[in-house]
Amino acid sequence: MITTRYGVAMLDRGGHKGQLRGMARISSDPTKGPDSRKARDGLPGPVGAAVDGFERHLKAERGLSAHTVRAYIGDVVSLLDHFCAGDEERKGLNGLGLTVLREWLAAQHADGASRSTLARRAASARTFTAWAHRAELLPHDPGPRLAAPAPKRKLPTVLRAEQAKSAMSASQAGAEQGDPIALRDHAVVELLYATGVRVSELCGLDLDDVDHERRVVRVIGKGDKERAVPFGVPAEDAVSRWISAGRPELATDASGPALFLGARGGRLDPRAVRRVVHDAVGAVSGATDVGPHGLRHSAATHLLEGGADLRSVQELLGHATLATTQLYTHVTVERLKAIHDRTHPRS
C-alpha cells in the first residue's frame, strides 16, 4: 500500500504498484453517459436503496435542481461502485470509511481528473456520508476528514459598463419594429442584466412574479429559496412592452402563466436565452462573447464598481455564502490595476 497525495493506492500481490482499486470502473465523468446508469443498476440491493434514499433527500428535502441532483448521484454512484468492487453481495454501507473515500479520489486523480472535479466529487461524498449517518446507514461519518484539493478559481469574464449599455441598445433597436420575438429578446437581456438572475431563474418566472409598481421581481433560486430583486426603468419598459404587445402574439393554451415564451408558445428554454444573449453581445464591436451567466457576472461587477456593498450584492444574486460574492471584488481590483497601469505616470 502506498500513500498518495489524495489517499491510498493498492499494491498487487507481487509488491508492485498496481492499478488503483476501482479505477477501471470509473469513467472520466461518472455523472454522464450510460456507464453511470449501468453502474447504478449493478449496485447490490441495500447499497442501491441507499442511493435511492439519497436522491429523494436531495429532491424533496433540499429542493435541488435536476442538474445538481444528477451530478450528486453520478458522483455517489461512482463512489459506491468503487466501494462494492468485487463484493456484489454487500449488505450495506458498513466499511465505507475514510480509507475507501481516499482510495476513490486517488483513483480519479490517477485517471486525470482535474482539481475542480476532485473537489466537487469530494463535496458530493461528504454530503452523502453526512446524510447516510443521519439516516443511521453509517455508524460514523468519515466525510469531514476527507480532504481534497481546492479548485483553482478563474476570474469571470465580464463586459465593460459601456459594452453592456451598447448591447442593451442593440437589442432595443431590434425591438423597434414591434416583432414579438424581438420584443421578447429585448426584455430578456434587459431583465437579465438589470437583476443578475440566473438563466434558470429567468425562465421560471411567471407573470405575477413581476411587481411593476415597485419594480421588483420575485425569484425562486437554488434550494427553492425565494428572494426579491429590484430592476430599473429600462427593464420595466422592455418587460411591459413585451407583455402588452409581444406576448399575446405568441401565447397559446399551453403557455400558462409563464412570463417569457418560446416561438411555439411554451415556456422559454434556457438554450434560447443563451442564443439571445450571444446575439445581443455579438452586435457590440470588441465585446467579449458572453452568455447569460456572463451578464450576471457583469451586473455584479458593475454594482460593486458603482459603490454597492458586498452583502447587498450577495442578497441580490442569491449566493448562499459571502465567499462566492467576494470573487467579484477581485475582478474590480484587476480592472483598477489595469487602469492604473495604463494611465498613471509612475505605473
CA 67 vs CA 29, 55, 58, 300, 328: distances in Å: 14, 12, 11, 24, 25
Grid cell digits, residue 241: 412592452
Give me the catalytic one of 21, 40, 184, 296. Answer: 296
CA distance 106 to 4: 7
Q: What angle do CA 64, 100, 2 make, to 5 degrees?
A: 135
Q: How far apart are CA 281 and CA 285, in angstroms?
A: 9
- Angle (nearest 5°) at CA 337 between 294 and 306: 55
Nine-digit cell at 33? Answer: 453517459
Catalytic residue status for 153: no
Closest by Cα among 126, 50, 135, 153 to 92: 50
C-alpha pair distances (Å), 97 with each of 104, 110, 143, 146 = 11, 20, 8, 10
Establish whether 222 is a catalytic residue.
Answer: yes
Q: Which of 90, 198, 247, 297 is labelled catalytic?
A: 198
Q: From the candidates 40, 109, 120, 319, give the one annotated as an active-site residue.
A: 319
In the residue annotation, 21 being an active-site residue is answered as no
Residue in 6, 72, 193, 328 annotated catalytic: 328
Catalytic choice (70, 215, 278, 293): 293
User: Which position among 222, 227, 274, 278 bears the catalytic label?
Assistant: 222
| 293 in catalytic set | yes
Active site residue 319: yes
- Determine whether 296 is an active site residue: yes
Active site residue ranges: 198, 222, 293, 296, 319, 328
